[in-house]
Amino acid sequence: MPPREAGHKLLNWASQIEDGTLEQARQTAAMPFIHPHVALMPDAHLGKGSAVGTVIPTLGAVIPAAVGVDIGCGMIGVRTAFTKDDVDGRITRTRVGLGALRVAVERAIPLSPGHYNTELGQWDFTAAKIAELERRADDEGVDLVHSPKWRQQLGSLGGGNHFIELCLDETDRVWLFLHSGSRGVGNKIAQHHIAVAQRMCAQWHVVLPNRDLAYLAEGTPEFERYLADLGWAQRFAFLNRAEMMDRFGAVFARWMGAGDHRETERINCHHNYTRKERHAGRDVWLTRKGAVDAHQGATAIIPGSMGTHSYVVTGLGSVAGLCSAPHGAGRRFSRTAARKRFTQGDLRARMAGIEYRDSAEFVDEIPDAYKDIGVVMEDARDLVEIRHELRQILNVKGT
């Protein structure tokens, strides 16, 4: 869908959008350091301070609350050499269904907020990731005193809309797929710097339309400290997904009776982050709050909601879209509203044919609580090209 002007320095790709989301985006676009404009992605919806699904280019400043509290949240997908026939054949031969695989995944990866690893030596690929993060923290002076258990958090999923799935693509090739971020340690880092930004703006007597648009100015010690901590948290999120995927692959291979999971491609991408990019002739800090990198040729993942299709895409390098694309379906109803509107029976009907943990606690994640991913992808047709369409056959969620 071609973008529409939705206000001064604001372009909108969303055909499904609420007035409150537009107002949040207009407030963000009105900040004095925006260049060249704010881009609202097709899945945009209300967020804290600024809308989720907003791409924000800034000159000489970064807004910590716009980056968000789940720094580096994103997707990882692995294509395997296995097919649906391999999975079906394994079930037929062993009479061990996908329910056993789901339980094994739930045992290998801690689920839900506050659930961490009880020991760190269970997997031989974990130590190298922890060592890298320790070195980076030492080299860049990242103070992690607020999160003494950050090592135990590596390889844990979290809750909300974070998930693990076994999927099939349009050729029935098996994919391993999951969504998570920087967990509790990233949240602590974000909350600290959001408070610092609010304090600094108050000291500078900056009048803000929303206190969650408080920013840190480039050239200050506070800005440099945030960028160092942010970079560490983004790397933690990347490695957290990699750790879970390595475990998922090992568990899946064991369930298949194979030596390994036969990985042929791996895609690991953020959708909540900031980095330096060049747009409209200037070097800007580009914040993607619920958006993926869609530079020409870049590969990314756009998940649907629980029970709907997801997509592996290639970026088209849209200049107007700030080389970005949506990060998912985007919520239609809040969690509270979804629980009032839908039942466990509704969820069962929507998850028919998919192995999942049948529980009322997931009602607020029902696909009907989200925007139609088909419409989102149609709105994004000038931002990305679809490479693969994935349908899940197994879903694991944290509460």
Residue 158 annotated as lining a ligand binding site: no
- Judged by DSSP in three states, 79 sits in strand
Residues 1 and 368: their CA atoms lie apart, in Å, by: 23
Q: 388 pairs with which residues across the strands?
A: 312
Computed from CA positions of residues 95, 97, 103, 105, in that sequence, does the dihedral angle turn out positive or negative?
Answer: positive
Q: Does domain 75-268+296-317+327-332+370-397 have CATH number 3.20.20.140?
A: no
The pLDDT tens digits for 238-278 are 999 999 999 999 999 999 999 999 999 999 999 999 999 99
The pLDDT tens digits for 151-200 are 999 999 998 889 999 999 999 999 999 999 999 999 999 999 999 999 99
Going by C-beta distance under 8 Å and a sequence separation of 6 or more, which residues neighbour residue 359? 344
Residue 34 annotated as lining a ligand binding site: no
Residue 328 annotated as lining a ligand binding site: yes
- Judged by DSSP in three states, 215 sits in coil
Going by C-beta distance under 8 Å and a sequence separation of 6 or more, which residues neighbour residue 120? 126, 127, 130, 151, 152
The pLDDT of residue 2: 81
Q: Which of 45, 193, 270, 327 is catalytic?
A: 327
pLDDT band at 1 (very low <50, low <70, confident <90, very high): confident
Residue 330 annotated as lining a ligand binding site: yes
Respond yes or no: is residue 261 known to be catalytic: no
DSSP 96: -
pTM over 0.85: yes
Query: How far from 233 is each of 147, 204, 340, 361, CA to CA, in Å?
Result: 12, 28, 35, 29
Residues 41 and 44: their CA atoms lie apart, in Å, by: 5
Ordered by start, the domain boundaries in the chain are 75-268+296-317+327-332+370-397
Q: Which residue has the tokens 């969303």?
A: 14
- Nearest partner of 55 among 332, 321, 378, judged by Cα: 321
Residue 180 annotated as lining a ligand binding site: no
Residue 310 annotated as lining a ligand binding site: yes
- Judged by DSSP in three states, 309 sits in coil
DSSP 34: B
Per the prediction, the chain carries an average pLDDT of 96
In the sheet that 4-7 helps form, which strands lie side by side, from edge to edge?
A: 4-7, 10-12, 38-45, 52-58, 282-289, 272-279
- Note whether 219 and 230 are within 8 A (CB): no
Residues 262 and 249: their CA atoms lie apart, in Å, by: 9
Residue 304 annotated as lining a ligand binding site: yes
- Nearest partner of 37 among 384, 324, 381, 273, judged by Cα: 324
Neighbouring CB atoms inside 10 A of 371's CB total 26
The pLDDT tens digits for 221-243 are 999 999 999 999 999 999 999 99
Residue 359 annotated as lining a ligand binding site: no
